[in-house]
Amino acid sequence: MLVFWKQKLVFLSVPKTGTTAYQQALAPLASMVILDPPELKHAPLYRYNRFFRPMFEKAAGCDDMETLAVMREPVSWLGSWYRYRRRPFMKGRANATFDVSFDEFVEAYVQGKPPAFANVGSQAKFLEPRPNGTAVTHLFRYEDQAGLVAFLENRLDTEITLPRANVSPEMELTLSPGVAEKLRRKKPEEFALYDSIRHG
């Protein structure tokens, strides 16, 4: 999570959406950089609403902070998790994906209680608006990097050069038609939210 106090902007860090590169590029400009623990670095909107927003309002008298987040196309997002959990340092861990296919990974993900290797959360839940009206102000598709960079350069009045950071191994991943259909049927909220984001 990055907080740009003067610009009234909080950049929420949705896992597997390239935010590590933005953190590295923009940290010098930020008023607050939350890197650890992961539960705060990757604080979803509900955690921001519960802890950070009240702090900004009560301690600093600021009630007009805007939020920014990035969402990745759901199959691509799952593919990134699958590839990330096949990196060498995952050897021997319960949540590694060395011994399962991408189809098996996604089949496990859509279960009510997914096993450790497929327990990766939900982008829709991460970004879900709160009952008090708190919602993500600016939501970009991961695939629209040009739009995101242009927005940030304008808002922060800076030029952005992104490093390559936290990149998962390259791997061609394709879901079988049946599994792809099951994913859409079991997780419609993921696709509905992604499809609702204006592109460009």
CA distance 93 to 73: 27
pLDDT at residue 155 is higher than 80: yes
CB 31, CB 6: distance < 8 Å: yes
Using one digit for the tens of pLDDT, what is the confidence trace for 6-58? 999 999 999 999 999 999 999 999 999 998 888 889 999 999 999 999 999 88
CB 176, CB 103: distance < 8 Å: yes
As a whole number of Å, the CA-based R_g of the chain is 17
CA distance 109 to 24: 30
9-11 and 32-33 beta bridge pairing: unpaired
CATH, domain 2-196, list 3.40.50, 2.40.170, 3.30.1490, 3.40.140: 3.40.50
pTM recorded for the entire structure:
0.92
Residue 166: C-alpha distances to residues 49, 81, 83 (Å): 27, 12, 11
pLDDT at 94 (0 to 100): 87
Using one digit for the tens of pLDDT, what is the confidence trace for 57-111? 887 777 889 999 999 999 999 999 999 999 988 888 889 999 999 999 999 999 9
- Name the one residue in this structure whose structure tokens are 């907080």: 3
CA distance 22 to 164: 10
Amino acid identity, residue 42?
Answer: H
Using one digit for the tens of pLDDT, what is the confidence trace for 156-188? 999 999 887 666 667 889 999 999 999 999 999
Chain center to CA of 65: 19
Provide the 8-state DSSP code for 118: G
CA distance 70 to 6: 21
Residues contacting residue 153 through CB under 8 Å, at least 6 positions apart: 159, 160
